[in-house]
Structure 1
Amino acid sequence: MTTDILLVTLNSTYQHSSFGLRYLYANLEELQNRAQIMEFTIARDPRDIAEILLRQKPKIIGLGVYIWNAQESLELVSLLKRISPETLVVLGGPEVSHEAETNPICQIADFTIKGEADFLFRDFCKNFLNDGTLPAQKFVTNILPDIKTIKTPYEFYSDEDIQNRVLYVEVSRGCPYRCEYCLSSLDKAVRNFDVPAFLADMQKLMDRGARQFKFIDRTFNLSPSTCTQILEFFLERVHLGLFLHFEMVPDRLPTEIRELIKKFPAGALQFEIGIQTWNTDVARLVSRRNDLEKVKDNFRFLASETGVHTHADLIVGLPGEDIHSFARGFDTLAELRPDEIQVGILKRLKGAPIARHDKEWEMVYSNHPPFQILRTKSMDFATLQVMNRFAKYWDLYANSGTFKKFVESLKDKAQEQEHKSFFWQFYEFNDFMSKRHAQSHGISQLNLFESALVYLIENQKWPEEKAKELLAEDYLATGKKELPRFLKKGEEKNQKLSGENSNKINLPKRQQRHLVGKPETVS
């Protein structure tokens, strides 16, 4: 069996699907019957992947390279070119679209397509397969394609994708903002797909059983009219049990959008809201624009009047940010009650303008993916190491939704302290966990519960029975029927998870846990 064109990438986990490969396939035109999409995960041995690919005897392998698979992709390309040098390897994706000339994987591969490759890859394949013509240059680029002429890839989500994987969708490409840590800052403008055609595609996916959609638009609510049109479409079908993820501009939530999202049942919507920093001087340095008073008002509205699951982002390690200003920003955000706070460590994305601060702010990044910041002028290496662990333990305890009572107890404890800071209270718990566990990954849920119990008893001086009672509530809320031995006391209470909506909304388990306590239908 042979396939002339293999479209390949290494996803971070199985549940993710490659949106980019499906776009390439959709736009191959008459070459589609000579092409095949092949997805793997970064956990797969590169030698096994190379064996599977070369078994197809491809003439062209198109490989999508991203920050999460950069190292594994380098190993794979090295193998492919050593074993089968006659097979053309063509790279694409954000990790090779900038600074490609100095990127080792680009030196090994035959060609690299920089930027949006919807048409460039098709033209490459046509020229080579039809008459053996290859580009004169190793790096291929051109003007952005007319977005209205790009064929959308939604029909190429398989039934397996629809049942088991995240379905990525988009109404627009580009971003009008200039945040220097983000590659979208290089875009000149936002370009929009035809909305009626997009909605027709969404209807077809729903007819096939799709219920979860992740929009990758950088600024979904940038245009209130487009945003409203799409929300109205999904609201009419929300009874199917939909879960919709959007990335929202923090300070743009006009009345017409507010009134719409109030009508969605709790848990049907998830908003990813990039705050990144509350420090106005830092925001100015990295060209981040937010009306912080509007942001606060929007968060209060979302928390008190809607059932939206909110996921807010903060970045550690931005130029000019020290641990104390980050702590103040964290506390400000926590008071606004988002369901999750994603504490992210700054990464140096190739081509991102933040590189201009390297000298003044002594920004030192790892040379290896994901290219995280190692130290800055205002945050030393030791502090950033602590914050790496803080981010992990915050995710395990707070963001997971599994330890709601325990995390609330830490928040209450903070109010008894002179600093009254939730950040510094969790920072103390992070220090305890860092001493108790050699590493912050690979810790079982049982061990997390046991560690929380030890912390309450030994560090917070809680009575043992009271500490067990609190953690037993959290443990039973996970759906478990039997308490582990270390949480048992004289007489166990029979408690059940009270999230009645969890069977009505087809949302992920993590979001279901945050659903408890939200209003069922807001409007």
Structure 2
Amino acid sequence: TNPQTIRAINRNVDFAALSEIVQQIKDGGNIHQHLDLIAGLPYEDYDSFGRSFNDVYALQPEQLQLGFLKVLKGSMLHQKQKEFEIVYHDTAPYEVLTTHELPFADTLRLKYVEEMVETYYNSGRFLHTLAYLVPLYESPFAFFEALSQFWVAENYHYLGLSKMGLFDALWRFVEQNPKVEKQKLQWEMKFDIALHEKPKKLPAWLTVTNEEQWHDKVFAFYGNPDLWQKCLPHYKSNKEALRQTHLEVFGDEKQKAVLFDYGKRDLLGNAEYKIMETAEIQV
């Protein structure tokens, strides 16, 4: 979204108009949007790219693809390689290494930011967690940058973490942040876990629960056809409904019952869910 960069690559982009179109598509609720950012373009240094990242992140696409310039032979940027001091791999896909504005160290930094965006944003597994955490930082780019630095410092980039391992790493990253309300964050994380699968073995630090208070009432919900069939008419029996769904009461003071339906998922694998007043799940 850097105007100087846009002019240098002969694009004609009105970002305000583009943003409005993206929002109109998002409002329709039936199209999975991917928005791309390319690092390594002329006149875009590390800080400038961060501003472009924040601009695009604000549009909240389902996927934010952070890619790197490919200097294809015969392209305009290949012809102006010397002018922009572009150094790139001499084998396919001819990806940029450095430019007149972007030293190699910054290219590497952006590679780790890309990994964090792919792992935590594009996976769709941390939607509510990120919605809570990101605003606590100076900017979205600042959040993913800080997370990437922690990730490398802890050598996570050498490991293949499990789904719960990713939650563990994120918790370790933010647990010392004084702005984070620990209980609120745990509820958001638990919600995201439940969006993908029935919560079973949870991390030891994830201690928020209302199970003792609501266990019998949740069990009674599935035993009462007047209650579960009203919410889950597409299941033939309460056993099937119990197997394919998960009901849990979230929150401390303002409690809400959430019914997750794993038989219905979106393109990112998130279960369809319904938020209800606790009175709706009781006789």
Matched, 1:489 2:251: no
Matched, 1:448 2:163: no
Question: Given that residues 186 and 208 in structure 2 are in contact (C-alpha distance below 8 angstroms), is that contact kept between their aligned partners in structure 1?
Answer: no
Match of 1:502 among 228, 249, 264: 264
Match of 1:296 among 11, 15, 19: 19
Highest CA radius of gyration, 1 or 2?
Answer: 1
CA distance in 1, matches of 2:79, 2:273: 45
**Mind listing any 5+ residue stretches in structure 2 that lack a counterpart?**
212-246, 249-257, 275-283
CA distance in 2, matches of 1:497, 1:323: 43
Matched, 1:308 2:31: yes
Q: Secondary structure at the match of 1:309?
A: coil
Deviation, 1:280, is: 1.7
Q: Secondary structure at the match of 1:502?
A: strand
CA distance in 2, matches of 1:497, 1:398: 24
CA distance in 1, matches of 2:273, 2:33: 14
Q: Secondary structure at the match of 1:344?
A: strand
Q: Secondary structure at the match of 1:301?
A: helix
Residue type of the partner of 2:170? Answer: A
> Which residue does 2:242 correspond to in 1?
none
Task: Call closer, same or farther: CA 1:442–1:353 in 2, change over 3 Å.
Answer: farther
Aligned alpha-carbon RMSD (Å): 2.8
Deviation, 1:404, is: 0.9
> Which residue does 2:62 correspond to in 1?
339
1:284-333 CA deviation, whole Å, 9 max, x = no partner? 11122223232011012122243221110010111211122212221111
1:418-433 equivalences under 5 Å are: 421-433=139-151
Match of 1:478 among 196, 209, 219: 196
Q: Secondary structure at the match of 1:486?
A: coil
> Which residue does 2:175 correspond to in 1?
457
CA distance in 2, matches of 1:383, 1:513: 34
Residue type of the partner of 2:135? Answer: D
Residue type of the partner of 2:145? Answer: Y
Deviation, 1:500, is: 8.2
Residue type of the partner of 2:67? Answer: G
1:237-386 equivalences under 5 Å are: 278-386=1-109
1:330-356 CA deviation, whole Å, 9 max, x = no partner? 111122221111111112234333112
1:19-418 equivalences under 5 Å are: 278-414=1-137, 417=138
Question: Given that residues 477 and 497 in structure 1 are in contact (C-alpha distance below 8 angstroms), is that contact kept between their aligned partners in structure 2?
Answer: no
CA distance in 1, matches of 2:40, 2:74: 18
> Which residue does 2:226 correspond to in 1?
none
More deviation, 471-480/308-317: 471-480
1:163-215 CA deviation, whole Å, 9 max, x = no partner? xxxxxxxxxxxxxxxxxxxxxxxxxxxxxxxxxxxxxxxxxxxxxxxxxxxxx
Aligned length: 230
Deviation, 1:373, is: 1.2
**Mind listing any 5+ residue stretches in structure 1 that lack a counterpart?**
1-277, 518-523
CA distance in 2, matches of 1:515, 1:491: 21
TM normalised by structure 1 equals 0.40
Deviation, 1:473, is: 1.6
TM normalised by structure 2 equals 0.71
Deviation, 1:515, is: 7.9
Question: Given that residues 86 and 100 in structure 2 are in contact (C-alpha distance below 8 angstroms), is that contact kept between their aligned partners in structure 1?
Answer: yes
Question: Given that residues 315 and 344 in structure 1 are in contact (C-alpha distance below 8 angstroms), is that contact kept between their aligned partners in structure 2?
Answer: yes
CA distance in 1, matches of 2:98, 2:152: 20
1:384-424 CA deviation, whole Å, 9 max, x = no partner? 1010111111011011100112211232213xx4xxx2112
CA distance in 1, matches of 2:123, 2:74: 33
